[in-house]
Amino acid sequence: MREPLDRETFLALIQTKSTTLAQRQHTGEAAFAFGLTKPPHINEYQYLDAAAAILASMLNLWARLELKHAAEIVRTHWDDWLTLLIRAESDPRTAQFVAVIRTSLDPAAPPHIAMGDAAHVGKVAPPSERPAFMIPMSFLLRCLRENARRAGIDLPNRLTVDPADKAAYAKWRAEIDTYREAAGARRAKAKLTLA
């Protein structure tokens, strides 16, 4: 894992105020990388946390999902969209999408979520009254990089690890597992102190 970002840098990357982030965490409307509702260490964030937050905002603003539902989708499907991000960074020629498919005209009906390239999304998408709303991972990366440029933050060339480097990729995935465990330990400790 890369060196963590402080809160101020993270907020600049996601273009959000500190009070807004605190409120979103309190109400379950925040999404962080690796399926987390909060980072394992207070005021320490990963670059991929910014990608998760931006993806949740895109699902909210453009796909018209409630922010809490959008954040839940990002947390639940974290490994799927992370895979798309890896693919987008490894082969930018093949567009990768998070697709929101409304199978009903009832806005309260939950949408179907599909992830992959356009051909895969077309194969797995159920019949729908409306076209799928497709969020390209390349666009998410451009938004993140533009936010970083405006804030004077140097992002690494890759946010993910190239799976072609099998040893580095295996190490990174093990680090993700450890990071997730640390977040779980933090939640367990917080519950114990509240009891």
* Domain coverage including residue 29: 5-89+138-194
Kindly state whether residue 108 falls inside one of the protein's structural domains: no
pLDDT band at 155 (very low <50, low <70, confident <90, very high): very high
Residue 112, pLDDT score: 93
- The span from the CA of 120 to the CA of 134, in Å, is 12
- Residue 60 reports pLDDT greater than 80: yes
Kindly state whether residue 111 falls inside one of the protein's structural domains: no
Kindly state whether residue 64 falls inside one of the protein's structural domains: yes
Residue 105, pLDDT score: 80
Kindly state whether residue 95 falls inside one of the protein's structural domains: no
Residue 191, pLDDT score: 45
- 25: burial class by Cβ within 10 Å (0-12, 13-18, 19+)? middle
**Residue 41 Cα to chain centre, angstroms:** 18
Task: Note the pLDDT tens digit of each residue in 169-185.
Answer: 999 999 999 999 988 85
Number of domains in the chain: 1
Task: Note the pLDDT tens digit of each residue in 19-40.
Answer: 999 999 999 999 999 999 999 9
- The span from the CA of 155 to the CA of 158, in Å, is 8
Query: Whole-model pTM?
Result: 0.91
Task: Note the pLDDT tens digit of each residue in 98-140.
Answer: 999 998 888 778 899 999 999 999 999 998 878 889 999 999 9
Residue 8, pLDDT score: 97
User: Any idea of the CA torsion for 49, 73, 84, 111, to the nearest 10 degrees?
Assistant: -150
Kindly state whether residue 110 falls inside one of the protein's structural domains: no
Kindly state whether residue 106 falls inside one of the protein's structural domains: no
CB-CB contact of 103 with 126 (8 Å) = yes
Tell me how crowded residue 110 is: count the other CB atoms within 10 A of its CB.
Answer: 12
Kindly state whether residue 165 falls inside one of the protein's structural domains: yes
Kindly state whether residue 71 falls inside one of the protein's structural domains: yes
